Amino acid sequence: MNLSSSGSEPLVHREHAASESVGIVPVDLDRPSLGKLAPQNIALFGPPGVGKTVIGKLLAETLNRPLVDTDTEIEAISGKTIEAIFRDEGEAAFRDLERELSVSLARRTGLVVACGGGTLLDDVSRQAFEASSSVVFLDCAADTLLTRLDRKHDRPLLTDDLRTKLAALLAERAQVYLSFETRLDTTGRGPSETVAEIQAVLRAAEVRSWTVNQPPADYTVQLGPGLLERLPSTLASHGLHPPYIVISDSHVGPLYAEDVCRAIEGRLVTFPAGEQSKTLATVERLSERCLNAGLERGGTVIALGGGVVDDVAGFVSAVYMRGVRWAALPTSLLAMIDASVGGKVGVDLASGKNLIGAFYPPGLVLADTRTLETLPDEEFRAGMAELVKASLVGDPTLFDWLEAGDARPSPRWLERSLTVKLAIVERDPYEQGERAALNLGHTVGHALERLSDYTLRHGEAIAIGLVAETRMAERLGLAEAGLAGRIETVLSRLKLPVRIQNGTPGQVRLAMTADKKRVGNAPRFALPISPGKVTTGCLVPDHFVLEVLEEMVR
């Protein structure tokens, strides 16, 4: 779509009056919650006698969640008491049962789990719980533990001399116990007080924050629920001043823009949603609207929307009056974990994606995960492709979770995906080397987007590109055998496409010549070696490229 044509949807410019109190909440679409993010389990872990079962039961009742006590569950599964399992089969057999149960529980959501005192000593069990749960380590003074255990002494590892055995067990496990990030000392606290403290700790941990060191200045990225509710104070605390111009699109604007503009006394400018609007014509018209709305060099552009909004509004900010400050309020999964961070902004040309742009980081990124509830299912699934990509680029544990876990991500998956990108951006802010790894799947993906006239969503195209480029890596002997099949299985479970549905192999190959990473007419690829390891700047022989593309259209 060319926005300069007379048939284009007009850009909208509205002014909103301020209100003393404004609540910014997700819009009710008259349908049940989509439950985009799986509610994380809450796993309680700590030494024997710390009170995990009692506290877990009260916490589960308070939150109206099911309680799973791992010891009780193992007894039900095996038909034996814990003591009998240790006596008849040994500790190794018991740990095997714990491990199987841990992996099984990681596929469930919304539980309170009271873990046995040794459950998370096992690496597999710990990884399973950390993928699906907020793990809270409950600690306690040794003398208090001893008193509690003495009341009911049926622990297989603490028979005979309780004091000596407990001291030895605590010393043996001390390093692991100290490794948990979220810790709470229950000494002198009753169960009710402990439960209240757990809830407070978990609420505080819902919002994750990063300080990104990227030229020309550090900026903050926040991810979590309810961030839009504190937007006015957060903008002010990060030195982002009015006048505020909110740039959004025709999809997101009707959902959130009115409340946002009212809260910050901002003025709204919108443009038609979709990749077809990512053009210089849109930038020109938005810039004129910003001028008419009173945007000054000391003011702030607020990008409210998905990846296209971030790219366009960020580029407007970079060029308007030679640069004004801007903040990103991403509302799509793709924008939250990828497009809004890293400072790459720009627009497309008719011949290819993102061929005009700049490195211009925002002053602030606020990713309110509650906005994902209004995101259409197909858009959410498309965003998952970038999460898979991030796992392949820099987080093999996340890829393991994707292979073994539920198709719905937990908030922790988003955190880890975002961490991968931010770490790379800090090390290579201008894409002079390592940052090119983030283009994994994009050389083929961008070509497919263009051939579909952008009816294929970005994430859908990247999903196909990940499979295709991994197959190329296998042919070159770079990728470990079977990796393409593993990636395809993960993407298929997420209901993402893994086959080329538009364009012939020759057309796809030709479209790649517009890729900005090309050398001459030869595209450069980022190719995976194994989960978490990618090599960049790869030239793939044309016959390998065409062979893979031929396979992908079958």
Amino acid at 318: A
433, HSE (Cβ side, Cα atoms, 13 Å) = 4
Q: What is the DSSP letter of 220?
A: E
Q: Are 464 and 485 in contact (CB under 8 A)?
A: no
DSSP string covering 93-152, please?
Answer: HHHHHHHHHHHHHTT--S-EEE--TTGGGSHHHHHHHHHHEEEEEEE--HHHHHHHHHHS
Hey, what amino acid is at 23? G
Give burial (CB, 10 Å; 0-12/13-18/19+) of 197.
middle
Which residues are CB-contacts of 155 (< 8 A; sequence separation ≥ 6)? 48, 117, 149
Q: What are φ and ψ of residue 538, in 5° steps?
A: -85, 130
Residues recognised as catalytic: 322, 344, 386, 421, 431, 435, 439, 442, 446, 458
DSSP state of 11: P
Unique residue bearing structure tokens 């740990």:
95
Distances (CA, A) of 79 to 67, 102, 116: 20, 18, 17
The token duo for 121 is: 């000593």
Cα 23 versus chain centre, distance = 25
Which residue is listed with tokens 């597999």? 124
Q: Any idea which residue has 């053009």 for tokens?
A: 279
- Give me 322's structure tokens: 């030679």
CB 158 within 8 A of CB 47: no
10 Å Cβ neighbour count for 480? Answer: 16
CA distance linking residue 275 with residue 297, whole number of Å: 28
CB 466 within 8 A of CB 487: yes
How many CB atoms within 10 Å of residue 355? Answer: 14
Question: How far is CA 17 from its chain centroid?
Answer: 35
